[in-house]
Amino acid sequence: MSGRMPRGGTSAVNPTERQSTVEITQSFIDGESVPSADTYDNIDPATGRSLGPVARSGTEEVDRAVQAAAAAQPAWNATLPEHRSAVLSRVADLVDANAEALARLESEDTGKPLGQARTDATVCARYFRFYAHAIDTYYGETIPLAADQLVYTRREPFGVVGSIIAWNYPMQLLARAVAAAVATGNATIIKPADETPRTAVAIARLAIEAGMPPGIFNVVTGIGAEAGAALTAHPGVAHLGFVGSTQIGSTIAHAAADRVVPTVLELGGKSAQIVFPDADLDTAATFLTKAILQNAGQTCSAGSRLLVHHSIHQELLSKVADHFGKVSIGPGREDPDLGPLVSAKQQGRVRGMVETALEGPGEVIVGGTVPDEERLAGGAYFSPTLIDGVDPASQIAQEEVFGPVLVSMQFDTEEEAVALANGTDYALLGAIWTKDLSRAHRMAAAVQAGQVYVNTYGAGGGVELPFGGFKKSGYGREKGREALDAYTQTKTVIVKL
């Protein structure tokens, strides 16, 4: 494919000019490509074929990245905020200029439709631009303790920070971690997901082109149990961020606690959409469909549980099923409504959870199977699936499917709806569909979630909105101004006058 971003190499020329001579995705450390002794194949989920080898980094490469970051960070922190702002703005401009090439890489790696990948590139640039502006107005405070004392606070960076990001939104997750961290004077090391390493390396190259000093933004490719574990355990990393499963997040939190290192964890979700009889059902059905089928349902904040009042149950499910039945399925490059899941392994997991659900009271309204079209053979596809009447305590109602699967349950009262919504270990997002303003506010207060939408749904929302969960959905916040707090420490200075 012509014009796409690089997989590796050490040249400093325009990324789109390197593709013909570069065949391997390598780590990018201290401003240059770093090979590893071993590689693994990056698999195209639409075809099952390899997109090319990826460097399988480990302890040595992580240590090299930490040393580079530690050496570069003091000088970067000493620069004026307006300088860091200008660099981040140039990164945003370059991401915009290379958006199509980046989107094609992301579509290939993840399987997501090309249009959704283009949106990811746009939002990626938006993160860099947002934090470029935000750092200009990020101040400390003065505290009126006494007339003869001056007390003020300073927000200081941690130094070297590490982030392990998931495969579902590689560009967005990278940008929201990197932009806030480097804006506040940190140096960062990114471990992209095993399945989706290429855009991370490409954007790190663009950062160098934008004037970011070598060592401030490093990418270490590889397997999570190797490169990710090495980054988590490295004594030179002063702060950790992780996006992924609750199980792995718990492991990282334990490792960080052993070193007394702060973490921000964005983990799983089982977000509920609660629909009352006075809701606009046509609008709700449209958003319900988008909220579960975006990125093939592989979104931590996907609206995966539909809680619907019994009086409108059949009507709403009919509308959702109609939307599901019109969905086009195909490779991401064709820009369908629904692309493949990220891997055959994930496809098997989704299929297994659906089959287990059907052993209980749940009834498949639409979908429930792998598409049988010959042209989709070999890809990790799964049909849009709506299952009604599931047991609220069942696996499929309690655990993340991470696929295009929506489960439905009925309620009669607000109290019952709240109990169902809060009846899982997760608490990332929620949505209330009603025209009753008082009910909307009551429910928004009662539902346990890091974000609650009313008569809309954003699957994570905009760059400006603090994002994170309660309970086993994690802790800490990314996005918005709160991310600047997450990547800094407060120092209080007391001066006797």
Q: Residue 112 belongs to a domain with what CATH number?
A: 3.40.605.10
For 85-105, the pLDDT digits (tens) are 999 999 999 999 999 999 999
Question: Same domain, yes or no, for 167 and 288?
Answer: no
Question: Same domain, yes or no, for 291 and 245?
Answer: no
Torsion sign over Cα 403, 404, 409, 410: positive
Does 1 fall in a domain? no
Q: Does 460 score more than 80 pLDDT?
A: no
Question: Same domain, yes or no, for 429 and 304?
Answer: yes
For 1-33, the pLDDT digits (tens) are 333 333 333 333 343 333 334 479 999 999 999
Among 336, 338, 341, which residue's Cα sits nearest to residue 351? 341
For 196-220, the pLDDT digits (tens) are 999 999 999 999 999 999 999 999 9
Does 2 fall in a domain? no
Query: Could you tell me if 405 and 385 are in contact, meaning their C-beta atoms sit under 8 angstroms apart?
Result: yes
Tally of domains within the chain: 2
Question: Same domain, yes or no, for 116 and 21?
Answer: yes
pLDDT averaged over the chain?
Answer: 94
pLDDT band (50, 70, 90) for residue 461 = low
Question: Same domain, yes or no, for 371 and 243?
Answer: no
Question: Same domain, yes or no, for 203 and 248?
Answer: yes
Question: Same domain, yes or no, for 223 and 291?
Answer: no
Does 68 fall in a domain? yes
Q: Residue 435 belongs to a domain with what CATH number?
A: 3.40.309.10
Max Cα separation, the chain? 80
Q: Does 247 score more than 60 pLDDT?
A: yes
Question: Same domain, yes or no, for 217 and 88?
Answer: yes
Does 469 fall in a domain? no
Q: What is the pLDDT of residue 458?
A: 86
Does 8 fall in a domain? no
Q: What is the pLDDT of residue 462?
A: 86
Q: What is the pLDDT of residue 8?
A: 37
Which contacts (CB < 8 Å, 24+ apart) does range 347-354 have?
347/380, 347/381, 347/382, 347/403, 349/401, 349/402, 349/403, 350/382, 350/401, 350/402, 350/403, 350/405, 351/382, 353/395, 353/396, 353/399, 353/401, 353/403, 353/405, 354/385, 354/387, 354/396, 354/401, 354/405
Does 366 fall in a domain? yes
Length, in residues, of the chain: 497
Residues above pLDDT 70, as percent of the chain: 95
Does 470 fall in a domain? no
Q: What is the pLDDT of residue 16?
A: 38
The catalytic residue positions are: 266
Residues 6+ apart with CB under 8 A from 463: 123, 126, 127, 130, 176, 479, 480
pLDDT band (50, 70, 90) for residue 234 = very high
User: Which has more pLDDT, 303 or 459?
Assistant: 303
For 468-497, the pLDDT digits (tens) are 999 999 999 999 999 999 999 999 999 999
Query: Could you tell me if 4 and 101 are in contact, meaning their C-beta atoms sit under 8 angstroms apart?
Result: yes
For 350-367, the pLDDT digits (tens) are 999 999 999 999 999 999
Question: Same domain, yes or no, for 257 and 292?
Answer: no
Question: Same domain, yes or no, for 365 and 427?
Answer: yes
Question: Same domain, yes or no, for 67 and 129?
Answer: yes
Residues above pLDDT 90, as percent of the chain: 94
Give residue 389's domain range: 272-462
Among 204, 198, 191, 162, which residue's Cα sits nearest to residue 54? 198
HSE on the CB side for 370, CA within 13 Å?
20
Q: What is the pLDDT of residue 5?
A: 36
Does 6 fall in a domain? no
Question: Same domain, yes or no, for 161 and 277?
Answer: no
For 26-83, the pLDDT digits (tens) are 999 999 999 999 999 999 999 999 999 999 999 999 999 999 999 999 999 999 999 9
